[in-house]
Amino acid sequence: MNHIQIPTYISRFNKIIILLLNLNERQIKILEYLVENNSISRVEYARMFRVSLRTANCGISELEKLNLINREGVGRAIRYTLK
């Protein structure tokens, strides 16, 4: 069973979606961050979670594949936003 701590302010419907999509804690936190801050870069993700840029890229790519975030910009200026 999935033992991810889902914040209590997330609706019951959204908790079910999170569990069905099998999101990990980092992915949940990034989605929460995007609700508050509108966008994030790969470097910001890496700093936030103290992970390598490669790991940040993998985490972001998974959210893109799930069609939860958009990529905007090119090169170093790429930012990610909620769909």
Number of domains forming the structure of the chain: 1
Map residue 15 onto helix, strand or coil.
helix
Residue 46 pLDDT > 70, yes or no? yes
Q: Is 67 a domain residue?
A: yes
- The confidence band for 9, taking pLDDT boundaries of 50, 70 and 90, is low
Tens of pLDDT, residue by residue over 52-73, are 999 999 999 999 998 889 999 9
Residue 20 pLDDT > 80, yes or no? no
Residue 41 identity: S
DSSP calls for 35-61? HHHS-B-HHHHHHHHT--HHHHHHHHH
Q: What is the mean pLDDT of residues 30-41?
A: 90
Residue 64 near residue 78, CB atoms below 8 Å: no
CATH of the domain at 25: 1.10.10.10
Map residue 6 onto helix, strand or coil.
coil
